[in-house]
Amino acid sequence: MRGADLLVRTLANAGVTKIFSLSGNQIMPVYDACLDARIEIIHTRHEGAAVFMADAWAQLTGEIGVALVTAAPGAANAVGPLFSARQSESPVLLLTGDSPRGQDGKGAFQEFDQVPMTAPLTKLSTRAETADTLGETIARAIRTALSGRPGPVHVALPFDVVEADASGVTVPAAAAMERDHHTLSEADLRSVVAMVAGAERPLVLCGPAMNATRQGTVLTALTDALDAPVLAMESPRGLKDPSLGDVAHALRQADLVLSLGKPVNFTLGFGAASVTGAGCRWIVIDSEAAERERAALNLGDRLSLGIDANPLDAAGDLIDAGQGKGARKGWRDEMTRLVSARAYDASAPGAGGKISSAQLVAAVQRQIEAAGESVLVCDGGEFGQWAQAGSRAAERLINGPSGAIGGGLCYALAARAARPEACVFALMGDGTVGFHFAEFETAARENLPFVAIIGNDACWNAEHQIQLREYGKDRLIGCQLSQARYDQAVEALGGHGEYVTDLAELDAALSRAVKSGKVACVNVVIDGQPAPSGSAH
């Protein structure tokens, strides 16, 4: 048994069935080992795409998502999406090839110290030392990724380590890779329950790892247990997240905010006193000391409790405590009304006779509702926000708090791999689709069809809107794109293409894309309106 075999058997024991990868010299032993372990390799066209796919897989399955890339330039290409995975709290294991340890300092092919490059973006970044300890290294990395606030980890794999003999070494069991639990103490649980019970208008805010896609009915159960509204926040637009309607107005009414893993940062206006109701108190439950310290810095004496615990475990403790009595129905209904508010008319005609973003998203929503099982992917700047505001599905992936765009195609491909019976709809702007356009070929080759809907306004509209607002229409520069025929390019890559400029043709084009059975691109010319940001208050 080689180090590579020990590595792959450890992954198999962790439940890994698929690895997202782009090949390279140093990782060929791992590819070879995957044959015997029956782990499927989905081979991508860019290393960054592999990480985005592992991110989406982790979010939808709750398992570790694995990306495998080659050394140095391959590792460097994979770095950017680690930021998105960290901000989205996704447990991703990035495995990178590496030059042999025995040639350190000699100028080996692609010799490069990768650990300092990935360390700021990961919970753990390390270089494997020996073949016989490789299983333990991988097990520690997986457990770290899954525990506390989930997030990405990185292990560099020197070629001589994965090639060396590891015979007789015990493969780590699945139990060695399960997440650590960190529950509330009895005293902390009593304090939290008492403060929530004593509030008139408590509000619970959760981070990305606690959203409904990833935790199912946990938030609903927590709402009933505390008799308090619970919101998961996962957009960089925070209080201006259009999918949360007029959440800013809602927060201004709260007299107690319980943060379950939701960072008190720019997305919450840094927790300023003006963000909440007068005299509002805060409870922050987080497993990361840095986030508790940030909350203390931003909230000052308005922070009543800062508790070291895992938010998911704490939610379970609070659900078990279950003292909600239904007395706050009015407050909960008001929160539902505010979060559901929308500041636009989806039926209003688009500017200049073009299809509006709201009309396009409404048409996609009709397809989602007709599809049965579905997964929704939203990615991009202005159009991505329109997509979040106007569409919904049982499971949703967005580009997350990082504010990075470009992973939407990769999320959609991985979503189809994770949910093979679902119809996957990926809404994105024309800027977004260009980052990883070649992954349409991956989807066609791997037979992982989904429907990509492009809101094509021929510009980087988020930045275009900033220029209009801040500098004026005479100072527009560097944000224009061509009205490209992305649909024809997708057809050339083996998929199905539709081009739509007339609203009357939109529903039929979307239906043909769904029924094609291929990865599909519906390229829709839109008017490029700025995104909504809740209702007017």
Angstrom distance (rounded) from CA 59 to CA 364? 23
Instruction: For 53-82, write each residue's pLDDT tens digit.
Output: 999 999 999 999 999 999 999 999 999 999
Instruction: For 144-180, write each residue's pLDDT tens digit.
Output: 999 999 999 999 999 999 999 999 999 999 999 999 9
Partners of residue 303 on adjacent β-strands: 282
The continuous run of DSSP H or E covering 202 comes out as strand 202-206
How far does the chain reach from its first CA to its final CA, in angstroms? 66
pLDDT for residue 535: 56
pLDDT for residue 537: 46
**Half-sphere CA count of 160, side-chain side, radius 13 A:** 10
If phi > 0 it is left, if psi is from -120 to 50 it is alpha, else beta; for residue 105 that is: left
User: Residue 253 class from Cβ within 10 Å (0-12 exposed, 13-18 middle, 19+ buried)?
Assistant: middle
**Of 131, 128, 158, which is closest to residue 2 (Cα–Cα)?**
131
Mean pLDDT by 10 residues, the chain (537 residues): 97 98 97 96 98 98 98 97 98 98 95 97 98 98 97 98 96 96 97 96 97 94 95 94 93 96 96 92 97 98 97 96 84 94 87 92 97 95 93 96 96 98 97 97 98 95 90 92 96 98 97 98 94 66
Instruction: For 465-516, write each residue's pLDDT tens digit.
Output: 899 899 998 999 999 999 999 999 999 999 999 999 999 999 999 999 999 9
Structural domains of the chain sorted by starting position, each given as residue range(s) with its CATH number in brackets: 3-177 (3.40.50.970), 186-340 (3.40.50.1220), 351-525 (3.40.50.970)
pLDDT for residue 98: 98
**Of 181, 167, 179, 183, which is closest to residue 141 (Cα–Cα)?**
179
Angstrom distance (rounded) from CA 231 to CA 149? 18
pLDDT for residue 343: 83
Angstrom distance (rounded) from CA 426 to CA 398? 10
pLDDT for residue 532: 87
User: Residue 340 class from Cβ within 10 Å (0-12 exposed, 13-18 middle, 19+ buried)?
Assistant: exposed
**Half-sphere CA count of 413, side-chain side, radius 13 A:** 30
Residues 126/116, Cβ–Cβ less than 8 Å: no
